[in-house]
Amino acid sequence: MSDIVTLTCPYCGAPTDVHVEAGADRCIEDCTVCCQPIELTIGADVDGNTTVEAHRGDE
């Protein structure tokens, strides 16, 4: 199962949709606007909702 999450690209600031796989804790997705690699840290909050943090992949 995967969720679609909208986040802000840490490079260009554009909103971009990414697919997050259930059970993953890290992945890299390219921005749909500027094509830069976004490193995603995936987790869950206390209610079990998926949380995603976006970081530059070049840092």
How much is the pLDDT for 1?
Answer: 55
Q: Strand 26-30 to strand 15-21: parallel, antiparallel, or no bridges (unpaired)?
A: unpaired
pTM, two decimals, is 0.77
Q: Looking at the chain, how many residues does it have?
A: 59
SS3 percent helix, strand, coil of the chain, rounded to 5, is 0, 60, 40
Average pLDDT for 10-29: 87
How much is the pLDDT for 25?
Answer: 87
What amino acid occupies position 25? Answer: D
